[in-house]
Structure 1
């Protein structure tokens, strides 16, 4: 493996950071470290979303580029008398990806390592072995011998439980595997957009945002957009990859490495036609590869942003990612870099006149 460059170090730090919905501080601190050098002002809303402001033309339109800080995880709900931990999911999980996976419990006394367990198949009936274990029948083993010992370790109800996985550059060095790509890659895009604009003229005010609690209802996007009152909104997130075995083109047809995805429709928003056409034209003008995609079963921060005040023309741009909402996901570095390039080129053209054209499209 080659030596990590500055960008890879940023991606590693962002994804290794622990931050489930409602406890995003570690991820927020990491994002702030990397975005602050390129912002004129950095602040948070009252729920904890990070907002980095960069002014080009102070009288120009406000452009919001938002990725969410939170990742899916779990929360401690009770400790049984033998010291085993029971938990609530935070965000969407598929039970088949959870068993025997390592987790970190964030306690007031420090991090505790555990593993998700259940009854061994050896003592289940033949019929029971055919069925996936339900989440309610899982627990976390932290090596405690009693409830009292688990409490002495610092574990208590309400503690965050975070998937454990270290950032990994694969043998094909463009392929990057990590936990929390959903959605630290969006946070990384916001950082890199401000970085690329550092010495560029742009006829607007750009806000790079790390929102909180997206996985449980797009909550931070709602509060941060209310604070900003943007004229144009871009939600940046992960999208569904269709290039693994068993997925047909009609289910998902995006490939890793073929460019960022322009989302036409998801469960939270019909993409604004004017913004969509503008982004497509920009990509074609600058020969930036892209893919169309739609997600009938999920939403993104754009779903909250576009309903702010009297409406914000918005579009979601995503990075095709394999195995989202699990301990380890994979994406392609070129898609990340092309998403940044596309948004930067778009921002350079988003003056008052262009925003008016988009709204009337």
Structure 2
């Protein structure tokens, strides 16, 4: 087994933590543990987003670096008389990746292991067998013999259900496999940006933020941005990796290991030109690799942040990631480290005059 260094230990703790939208306490506590040594103060807003503040210059621009704490998962909706759990998705899921996957139901009495099931294909008509199973035809088997036994286990409607997967360093140790990269990698980037700036001379007030409920509507981004009132914002998240078989560059440009992705456009925002130019100019100056991408659908916390307050110049910087919104996703460690370096170096170049210039660029 690969010996985990301090950075990998943090990534393991972040991704192993259970926290779907509305249930972000575990990952929030992990993020608080790791970001507190580099912050002057750590608070939460009313919805539970974590906000860590580090002052470089007391009257300097406010710079927000936001990743979201929540992961995609499920919620218990009911239990039938035979003890099988019915559920709904929380966040976007492709039903094809759900069947026969192990999950953890987090209850007040402790964790309950389950498996997502459906009718076996052996008893289905041939034409039905060829179709994907719909969510309404799935259930979770927790090994209970009755509804009463399931309730005795502690399961009840509203409990969060989380994909089960252990953080894994692949044979190529640059490749990291885990659940919840979407978006604990953004939280890790926010932590490490504050770490990079701990002893740096810069002219800003930097906020490392772990937002809540991104997967169900960018909700924590709205409330935390209203609380901070940033002058500049970076939404850090996962992006699409287009480097697996069958994907053309017209469908997805991103490649793992080619650097952080600078998102030009998605369904939630058009990236701010002035900020985008500063970021790419900084990367070019320092030889930090990066790649461009644009998405017809989807969005990140930047989409909510940029329309708060009086309007906030914002940019989404993402990590090309394979198999997002499933039980396990894969990303490249170099992309993560280069994203941290790039954002930290941009912040070092920001001051009141630069922010003013960017705003009207």
TM-score by length of 1: 1.00
Corresponding residue for 2:37? 37
Corresponding residue for 1:145? 145
1:344 aligned counterpart, secondary structure: helix
Corresponding residue for 1:72? 72
Corresponding residue for 2:194? 194
Q: Output one character per residue of 1:132-153: Cα deviation in whole Å (capped at 9) or x when no partner.
A: 0001100000000000000000
Corresponding residue for 1:219? 219
- In 1, Cα distance between the equivalents of 2:276 and 2:16? 33
What is the deviation of 1:192? 0.3
1:103 aligned counterpart, secondary structure: strand
1:311 aligned counterpart, secondary structure: coil
- In 2, Cα distance between the equivalents of 1:263 and 1:246? 22
What is the deviation of 1:29? 0.4
Corresponding residue for 2:259? 259
What is the deviation of 1:25? 0.3
Q: Output one character per residue of 1:163-197: Cα deviation in whole Å (capped at 9) or x when no partner.
A: 00000000000000000000000000000000111
- Residue 117 (1) aligns with residue 117 (2): yes
- Residue 164 (1) aligns with residue 167 (2): no
Q: Output one character per residue of 1:309-336: Cα deviation in whole Å (capped at 9) or x when no partner.
A: 1100000000000000000000000000
What is the deviation of 1:87? 0.3
- In 1, Cα distance between the equivalents of 2:202 and 2:182? 29
- Residue 230 (1) aligns with residue 230 (2): yes
- In 1, Cα distance between the equivalents of 2:193 and 2:119? 48
Q: Output one character per residue of 1:246-265: Cα deviation in whole Å (capped at 9) or x when no partner.
A: 10010002110000000000
- Residue 182 (1) aligns with residue 163 (2): no
- Residue 63 (1) aligns with residue 81 (2): no
2:182 aligned counterpart, secondary structure: helix
Corresponding residue for 2:292? 292
Corresponding residue for 1:21? 21
2:119 aligned counterpart, secondary structure: coil
What is the deviation of 1:295? 1.4
- In 2, Cα distance between the equivalents of 1:329 and 1:119? 27
What is the deviation of 1:229? 0.1
- In 2, Cα distance between the equivalents of 1:70 and 1:8? 20
2:317 aligned counterpart, secondary structure: strand
Corresponding residue for 2:339? 339
What is the deviation of 1:202? 1.1
Unmatched tracts of structure 2, length 5 or more: none
1:317 aligned counterpart, secondary structure: strand
2:331 aligned counterpart, secondary structure: strand
- Residue 48 (1) aligns with residue 67 (2): no
- In 1, Cα distance between the equivalents of 2:295 and 2:321? 13
What is the deviation of 1:2? 3.2
2:63 aligned counterpart, secondary structure: strand
- In 1, Cα distance between the equivalents of 2:117 and 2:17? 24
Corresponding residue for 2:277? 277
Unmatched tracts of structure 1, length 5 or more: none
How many residues are paired up? Answer: 361
- In 2, Cα distance between the equivalents of 1:288 and 1:63? 21
2:66 aligned counterpart, secondary structure: strand
Q: Output one character per residue of 1:264-286: Cα deviation in whole Å (capped at 9) or x when no partner.
A: 00000000111111101010011
Runs of 4+ in 1 over 3 A off after TM superposition: none
- In 2, Cα distance between the equivalents of 1:284 and 1:135? 47
- Residue 210 (1) aligns with residue 213 (2): no
2:149 aligned counterpart, secondary structure: helix
- In 1, Cα distance between the equivalents of 2:5 and 2:199? 21
Q: Output one character per residue of 1:16-68: Cα deviation in whole Å (capped at 9) or x when no partner.
A: 00000010000100000000010000000000000000000011000000000
- In 2, Cα distance between the equivalents of 1:252 and 1:76? 34
